[in-house]
Structure 1
């Protein structure tokens, strides 16, 4: 969600920044802890939109948030004539969609445990699928909201923690706020989204950390570079799926030999193979999130998992 700030407030912030030279700030604090649902691979949290409760998919693979036409109607959201959004799904077909204005968006539904985000503008788009839960799923949260924080996913314990991180000095404590052992690997941040290097059957590639995808998805192009053919995929089970562009694409489940990420190795993984037009060779989807405790550090551009 693109946030709207009054011009006077922006000017005041700029004047304050030039007038005050504060000491380096160190902060690792919980901004909010949200109950996290996993319904068949759909990871969602409860939100409050203009005082009304709703659920939204948590999608680290999406640059922007969106609200569905059903959500617009149910919440009676007005069209934003000043903003529209270019939306692109996994099939690589961009289209221009309208935006609506939101007066008050809050993560969470309990006043004692919610994170106010204030007013903003949000794109309107369809979801290819969503679980039938209460409150109903009316959209998704993308990097325009999530990337302002570090994200700690604990799917087994149904918890998503958003952390406020300020590291004004090298002497500051670094995330994660964990005890024990974990794996650390660098990530690359682009347009609010995070990618990480991996190796699959000896070939290196780039994976998008995508909690909105319901499984690991290896791009068909990358699979072809491994020497696999469409005739081989025709022997694998599969079906049809769609992204936010609502265009169907064929997928197959294929047995690979070895997947390596951050020094961790998975042998004989079964991964989905499908077209991915997203400058990524693989999507690390919600099934990967569900089997690990994960900290996505946008502040330090690192991935921690265990």
Structure 2
């Protein structure tokens, strides 16, 4: 069976150079980064210059026959708005990009308005990073609510990663209820390996809310390929909200330090626990409709030398 595959959660950056919780994140060599006090393998070791570019990702996508990808952001990578605006301009049929603002201090509403004026169609909030030592930034605070109403009015999508479990679910539910036309994608599959993950999944019972699985292979890393626990969690989430509310995401490139990009989806493709129709929805069709992708390329299979 042929699948149209769309990756609903990936990252791009030219260089990491930022601070999170007072600790540095810096690009080093051989795909490594100084990450909040320790050296971590942030990229595959052959990406020696630390540049996580659109062109390298497109090569991976073409090889794995992934037609398009949603590029999200995270504070640990620094602000990539300028680069992602260029990426969207160069590859409009392959990438849907999210802008990101400095949500950890007041003034982000004006930032969002500037990003929308530049053409960004989505805004990313790494909400798990808003649990600051000096106090939480609430998702239902006044400036956030004014921002969400503005995004709803302008048709700008919200991509959000929530803190573990139920901590921010009530805030997010208030936002969804107050802004019923705001399209929301909840990331990391509700932090599926941690307690109360299904409370995040249940947010997709609202019409304009979707769940994407970015990072699911990282969360089930101890199981490793073929990630049977991840497949069972997808099955459980589908029983809660329907397979039409779930989308595949890879969390590229961090996850491909351990597995190949193709492995981030073919455990789903090969699983007998999901039907062909469910795989079509999860691997691409749901994301195509939700993000509005069109003019997707048809990517041929290229035979490997080892075959």
Determine if the TM-score, normalized by the shorter chain, exceeds 0.5: no
The structure whose residues are more often strand, as a share, is 1
Structure with bigger gyration radius: 1
The structure whose residues are more often helix, as a share, is 2
Q: TM-score, normalised by structure 2?
A: 0.28
Q: TM-score, normalised by structure 1?
A: 0.28
Tell me: higher relative CO, structure 1 or 2? Use CA pairs within 8 A at least 6 residues apart. 1
